Amino acid sequence: MKERAETEIEQERKKALNDIKDEIGGMALDIASKVVEREISEKDHRQLIDEFIQNVGEQS
């Protein structure tokens, strides 16, 4: 019974760590996205959109 409890505790600990890692990864992605948004000028943004549209058109 003690071994089973220890195993369950270890599994829950690993799950909690993975959940934390996922959450931190999501937060880092959000932060990076905001930084990129601030650093891209309107001209750059329009160029990226135009390139995307062109690439989509080529794949059709």
H helix runs in the chain, sequence order? 2-39, 42-59
Q: What angle do CA 12, 19, 11 make, to 5 degrees?
A: 15
Please name the amino acid found at residue 5. Answer: A
Q: What is the pLDDT of residues 8-48, one digit of tens each?
A: 999 999 999 999 999 998 898 888 888 887 778 888 888 88
Classify residue 31 by its DSSP letter. H
What is the predicted pLDDT for the residue at 8? 96
What's the predicted TM-score (pTM) here?
Answer: 0.53
Measured CA to CA, the distance from residue 59 to residue 36 in angstroms comes to 27
Q: Is 21 within 8 Å of 13 (Cβ atoms)?
A: no
